[in-house]
Structure 1
Amino acid sequence: MKPTIELTATLTTKDGSEQVTLTFDRAVVGGWTGRDKAALQHHIDELAKIGVKAPEKTPMFYRVGVSRLTGAQAIEVIGDGSSGEVEYTLINIAYRTWVGAASDHTDRVYEHMGITVAKQLCDKPLVSEFWPLDEIEAHWDQVQIRASIQENGKEVVYQDGTVAGLLSPEELLGHLREEGDELAEGTLLFGGTCGAIGGVRYSEQFTFELIDPVLGRAIKHSYNVIPVPIKG
């Protein structure tokens, strides 16, 4: 029997919204999903300098335990060596693809030991609202992802960009199929992120959102980060 997690969510279309209970039994994180191959290689080279092993290929798909998915407003982490990361997400409901957002919170201290290890160590907060992909596909590259953190008592913009720098959902799902996989019902797929402004760093609070400037709507989630003391 597979482990599962349930989330109460709102499915929002141009015509209205519906509250549903989603059941997830798998979480897949798409990594190295940038469209600009030169910029992607530069990022890989930078990480290699700090001990993060280069991927075998790009993109890569990392499995994390589905129990790491959460809609909570607070998560616990190991010490102060982790950070959030806003990403667009995809789910499949009755053969229709829906778009949401999540934070691929990752332990940066342990990242040099392996990306799968670093990702598995942290919960992944996600929004509780999803939009149908077919409503935004025509203006997909204009969709924005944004995140902010708390520093010195102030809210600071941490990430701010459009999804134009990432593989589109169609491209991402094409690569997933090449792996012999698919976006089955019950799977949450992370689609990638943009760079951190001022560098990757810890914060006691992380806020992230997905913004559709064409249809004038946004989905947003904020969570506190509570460090567990390291005693040995």
Structure 2
Amino acid sequence: MININVGGRNIVADPKRLLIAGYTGKDQESVKKHIDELKEIGVPAPQQVPMIYDLSTNLITTNKTISVIQEGSSGEAEVVIMKIEGKWYLGLGSDHTDRDLETVSIQKSKQVCSKPISTQFWSLDDVEDRWDDIEMRSWMIVDGVKKEYQTGKLGEFLNPKELLNIIEERGFGSEDMVVFCGTLPIKGGKFIYGEAFSAELYDRVTDEKIQLNYQVHILTDAEAV
């Protein structure tokens, strides 16, 4: 069960599916460039665009700390849409991923890391008409220093209805679910690893923000002791 807040109202969600959508940019030339950049660091090219990764719902968390097995993992800010009893809500999440394992299997690299999400959500119906103008930013905290990691607007991504049509066409069903809608390019094009991750969505029309902050705890490697 997941508790979220929408306009001061508490809603309990019980998602039956977690989907991570990748390569969801509207600008396909930029998507191709991103794929080529990933190939250069050993990440295999997707079999189709966009890719939809079907993961375990128990990865979803609102905890302020997640645990990982090695230093080579990092977050990525993503818009999250959540279907609860037939209605869609919009929030913020991080597709935290094991970057070493990503060169072997993208699916496995995502499955081994928790997926933090915000507790604050907006009704998708309320913001869908200004989706393109909502801003998203993220920061990595490295040795106590906050470094800007990603910045852009949701207009860079497929509209949520377009993405949901693709999800339906691929047979993922219509049950209550959580969908990560894609991420922005990383500044400088290189992953940064740190002790914490921070992100926000900002709606200039209402001057409202959704924020996400979490710490990264690296587990002790028993085989290295």
TM-score interval w.r.t. the shorter chain? over 0.9
In 2, Cα distance between the equivalents of 1:183 and 1:32?
22
Q: Secondary structure in 1 aligned to 2:13?
A: strand
2:37 to 33, 39, 46: 46
- Tell me, in whole angstroms, the C-alpha distance in 2 between the residues paired with 1:33 and 1:214: 25
Is the counterpart of residue 7 in structure 1 residue 2 in structure 2?
Answer: yes
Tell me the residue number matched to 1:3. none
Q: Is the 8 A contact 2:138 2:197 kept in 1?
A: yes
Query: Partner of 2:179 in structure 1?
Result: 189
In structure 2, give the amino acid aligned to 1:190.
F
Task: Report the count of equivalent residues.
Answer: 222
2:110 to 119, 124, 128: 119
Q: TM-score normalised to the size of structure 1?
A: 0.91
Alignment partners' CA distance in 1, 2:123 and 2:14: 18
Q: AA paired with 1:110?
A: L
- CA-atom RMSD in angstroms: 1.3
Tell me how far apart the structure 2 counterparts of residues 44 and 11 of structure 1 sit (CA, whole Å). 36
Aligned to 2:78: 87
Distance, in Å, in 1 between the alignment partners of 2:37 and 2:187 is 16
The Cα offsets for residues 168-224 of structure 1, whole Å up to 9 and x where unpaired, read as: 101111111220234522x10000110111321111010111211111111112110
Q: What runs of 5+ residues in structure 1 fail to find an aligned partner?
A: 1-5
CA distance in 1 between counterparts of 2:72 and 2:220 reads 11
Q: What amino acid is the match of 1:10?
A: N
User: Secondary structure at the residue paired with 2:140?
Assistant: strand
- Structure 1 183/141 Cα, relative in aligned 2: closer, same or farther at 3 Å? farther
Task: Determine if contact 2:15/2:84 at 8 Å carries over to the other structure.
Answer: no
Paired residues of 2:140 and 2:192 also in contact (CA < 8 A) = no
Q: Where do 5+ consecutive residues of structure 2 fail to align?
A: none
Same amino acid, percent of matched pairs: 34
Partner residue in 1 for 2:100: 109
Distance of 2:55 and 2:84 partners within structure 1: 21
User: What is the one-letter code of the residue matched to 1:189?
Assistant: V
Q: Secondary structure at the match of 1:24?
A: coil
Supply the distance in 1 between the matched residues of 2:86 and 2:3 (Cα, whole angstroms). Answer: 20
2:14 is paired with a residue of what secondary structure? Answer: strand
TM-score with structure 2 setting the length = 0.94
Q: Is the 8 A contact 2:81 2:181 kept in 1?
A: yes
1:91 shift after superposition: 1.3
| Structure 1 residue aligned with 2:209 | 218
Counterparts of 1:10 and 1:226, CA distance in 2: 26
Once the two structures are superposed, what CA deviation does each residue of 1:83-102 show, in whole Å capped at 9, x if it has no partner? 00010011122322111111
- Aligned residue for 1:113, secondary structure, equals coil
In the alignment, which of 49, 56, 63 is matched to residue 54 of structure 2? 63
